[in-house]
Amino acid sequence: MGIVNREKIRKMIMKRSASIGTIVAAVLLTGACTQKPATPPQTLSEAPVSVVQPSQEAVSTVPAIKINDCKIKLEELHGNTEKSQPDVTISYRNKTLVEGTDYVVSAEEESSSVGKHELTITMRGDYEGSQKVPYIVVPDSPVLTACSTKVTTALLEWTAVKDVDGYELEYVPADQKKPARIARVGKDTLSCELQGLLENRTYRFRVRSFKVVDGYSEYSAWSDPTEKALTKIKTVNGATYVDDILIVNKTYPLPADYGYGEDPEALDAFYRMQADAAAENIWIGIISGYRSYSVQSVTYQSFVYDRGQYEADRVSARPGHSEHQTGLAFDINSTAFAFADTPEAKWLARNCSQYGFIIRYPEGKESVTGYQYESWHIRYLGVEKAQKITASGLTLEEYYGLSSRYAD
């Protein structure tokens, strides 16, 4: 048999669908008898007889739904809860899959500690795949435990939350749609004085904790808010009063025409103090009492002339900003810094509150009062208030939450 015969055989195979094995064997046998190398048998695979039909069962199988196609939702998890993992909800299209049947969840570490953790979700049944899902345990919310307000400040205290990097305090006037301001403090701070609040407003305060995870702050929920009104401050004919005390400092000036000489009640209190001091061989006298706006103008300008404005502002008030214009402030004996070390200055510091005076610019409080330590400058407030403020160890500004800063 030659090449032509082989073509004959191929045609014959096309016609016959039975006895494939026999035919293949025949082809091989034929090929073996030709001069040229036989055509490779794979030619046969093109024949319809070689096609294997897939079973009906295999055709109807739905390919497994992969976890990538599913939506995974993790419930937010706060630290220190009873739980060690967030709740997981997985849905495919609109169907919610069943935990245990469609998937299982396992945690790498059973932990409710604040920070980053990982869950492994493994699909089962008609679903396939496995996925690691990171989740973050955020810290617990602190609770505001105290909130005391003054004229422009508020002191907040809150409970500690374990395992955090710090706290944030939010404060905003309750009646305003202004963006809230936020103060951030470290983890060891559990109280904070907020400053620069707007006068005569009611503020809303709240606190939250945070932990830095992978460079980002993870926050607790905010605490329940606390609303509190600030201490009232009022202006009468250009003069400022808080708690019925006339306030004059770098923030609050007096009008140029305010001026009534020394206050009789303050003078009377001073003379009683002077007499009592004399009985203890301490001599004290007023060297500067009431100063009018125009006199203060000259005084301040001479300081500016001598020392420049920056240094002048540390020791002398600009016109309208001097407490001496109130008639309630007196300089005693000497305005030299060395006065602080005299028995007279020490007696004054120890006793003046009993007569209704305070040392108005104490040592180390320049950033608060705006003035260097003036051991000689006393201010009359009345006995009750002077004793309260002296006992508090605070300056007048601190006690009422007042600023003392020139506007420019």
Q: Does 168 bind Zn ion (CB under 5 A)?
A: no
| Shortest CB 114 distance to Zn ion, Å | 54
Cα torsion 302, 305, 309, 315: sign:
negative
| Shortest CB 316 distance to Zn ion, Å | 9
C-alpha distances (whole Å) from 258 to each of 198, 239, 255, 293, 299 are: 26, 8, 5, 8, 17
| Shortest CB 361 distance to Zn ion, Å | 8
Q: Concatenate the DSSP letters of all residues of 63-119 into one string.
A: PPEEGGGSEEEE--EETTSS-SS--EEEEETTEEPPBTTTEEEEESS----SEEEEE
Q: Quick check: 346 and 338 in contact, CB under 8 A?
A: no
Which residue's CB is nearer to Zn ion, number 226 or number 288?
288
| Shortest CB 202 distance to Zn ion, Å | 36
- Residue of 140, 218, 262, 331 interacting with Zn ion (CB under 5 A): 331
Binding-site string for Zn ion from residue 284 to residue 323, where x marks contact by CB under 5 A and - marks none? ----------------------------------------
Which residue's CB is nearer to Zn ion, number 331 or number 397?
331
DSSP state of 152: S
Which residue's CB is nearer to Zn ion, number 158 or number 357?
357
Which residue's CB is nearer to Zn ion, number 332 or number 389?
332
Range 176-205, binding Zn ion (CB under 5 A): none
| Interatomic CA distance for residues 71 and 75, integer angstroms | 13
| Shortest CB 269 distance to Zn ion, Å | 17
Nearest to Zn ion by Cβ — which residue? 377
Half-sphere exposure (CA, 13 Å, Cβ side) for 228?
A: 20
Range 347-386, binding Zn ion (CB under 5 A): 377
Which residue's CB is nearer to Zn ion, number 220 or number 326?
326
C-alpha distances (whole Å) from 313 to each of 92, 300, 306, 310, 378 are: 72, 8, 12, 5, 19
* Structural tokens at position 248: 């004059």
Can you give the binding site for Zn ion, defined by CB under 5 A?
331, 377
